[in-house]
Structure 1
């Protein structure tokens, strides 16, 4: 760095220099893109290759504030384990073969969504880099609310969840009875319920996210139903449980205490509980087990 560089104005710097100095640059989870998708029947292999080879990167990881991402899959046998609920987050309840999770840094929630919208709307879809034969089952940007790590799990931290080789994931949608009840629900989960159910659990941690409305508009690709407006904003939480065991071996039995507590809670209801396992990059493993 030369002596004159500190005197340069922002207008004198390249876009990359300005980006490097764009604060905050804290470590942690600011927001998450959580996107559960159902490829149309007969398009499973093509979808897997498109998403893994292109869209995982060009549609998310290329974003300047996205620092971690991972894909998960639910073969037919795992989807059959999803418990029935009274008011499901979506129907049919066994939809959503794949889910992708992405973390972005704190303070850049709006930046991440803005980049994502422009990348899709102007850099990818107009150039044929979309995949019409798929349905978005549950897709939204989420504010990170809190994380609870099981005692005795060493230096594990929430921001490392997508980098650690966890054996499984359970995705849950939990709704408060009303918007006014969400704060109490979060406090009960974070302070009382989750710390106790994680003890002796196959889950190392549980992270809680609250969906946010789309601020940039919703992507609409010809031939693909648009992403639905975000439902129950201010009333809904998405819980991500990271497991050190294959969920096929422990789900739903290991979650019975948790599910019973939710059922007994006067201001909470379970709208989804869905186990997944990680995809194996560079392969089409599990694609032949989806139907």
Structure 2
């Protein structure tokens, strides 16, 4: 997704309340960022690897009484791994997410440091919205076939990476923000 995948050291993720995307992005944040850059208050020395608005598709949990994904950013997880799937043969990300959730995620999460697997797909129109940004936003959003999964874990994230290699995920191409284990 980001090339080179090891170019940066920071990730910024935040949730926007459901049905508030237009209010947050179109009415406030995009005009605000434009104003900041026009007035010399942006960060042109920062390189964006991938800045995209995603829609939440769902989440799979390891535990019966989990930390809800809505609270995951406040929970204090030790690690986060981002994995992108590119569905093939005209499949939508939501269909691929449902298949992974039913066929692979329960076994992946069981008895592991991984607690949440949250699924996302780019918000429609993100490639067009990014064209008006005052700075390059990195790789493009992709289309409805792109599935991004965020895995929240406790412990050393490097120990969980072998679990996240998906040679068995059929009908998709996989990319990871941390590379192949």
Which interval holds the TM-score relative to the shorter structure? 0.7 to 0.9
Question: Given the alignment, which residue of 16, 33, 55 partners 1:120?
Answer: 33
Alignment of 1:199-238 (within 5 A): 199-212=110-123, 213-214=125-126, 216=129, 217-221=131-135, 226-228=136-138, 230-238=140-148
The answer to whether structure 1 residue 252 and structure 2 residue 161 are counterparts is: yes
The answer to whether structure 1 residue 149 and structure 2 residue 58 are counterparts is: no
- Residue 184 (structure 1) shift: 3.0
RMSD, matched Cα: 2.1
Aligned partners of 1:179 and 1:234 also within 8 Å: no
Runs of 4+ with >4 A deviation: none
Distance 1:106-1:183 versus aligned 2 partners, 3 A rule: closer
Alpha-carbon distance between aligned partners in 1 of 2:24 and 2:90, rounded to the nearest angstrom = 26
Matched with 1:282 is: none
Alpha-carbon distance between aligned partners in 2 of 1:246 and 1:157, rounded to the nearest angstrom = 21
Question: Given the alignment, which residue of 19, 23, 37 partners 1:111?
Answer: 23
Alpha-carbon distance between aligned partners in 2 of 1:168 and 1:119, rounded to the nearest angstrom = 31
Alpha-carbon distance between aligned partners in 2 of 1:165 and 1:133, rounded to the nearest angstrom = 29
- The TM-score normalised by the length of structure 2 is 0.86
- Residue 117 (structure 1) shift: 0.5
Alignment of 1:131-280 (within 5 A): 131-152=43-64, 154-212=65-123, 213-214=125-126, 216=129, 217-221=131-135, 226-228=136-138, 230-248=140-158, 250-253=159-162, 255=163, 258-259=164-165, 262-274=166-178
Aligned partners of 1:218 and 1:227 also within 8 Å: no
- Residue 199 (structure 1) shift: 0.5
Q: Which of structures 1 and 2 has the bigger CA Rg? A: 1
Unaligned runs of 5+ in 2: none
Aligned partners of 2:72 and 2:152 also within 8 Å: yes
Alpha-carbon distance between aligned partners in 2 of 1:195 and 1:264, rounded to the nearest angstrom = 14
Distance 1:218-1:194 versus aligned 2 partners, 3 A rule: farther
- Residue 269 (structure 1) shift: 1.8
Distance 1:171-1:229 versus aligned 2 partners, 3 A rule: closer
The count of residues paired between Structure 1 and Structure 2 equals 175
- SS of the equivalent of 2:73 reads coil
Distance 1:145-1:103 versus aligned 2 partners, 3 A rule: same
- SS of the equivalent of 1:240 reads strand
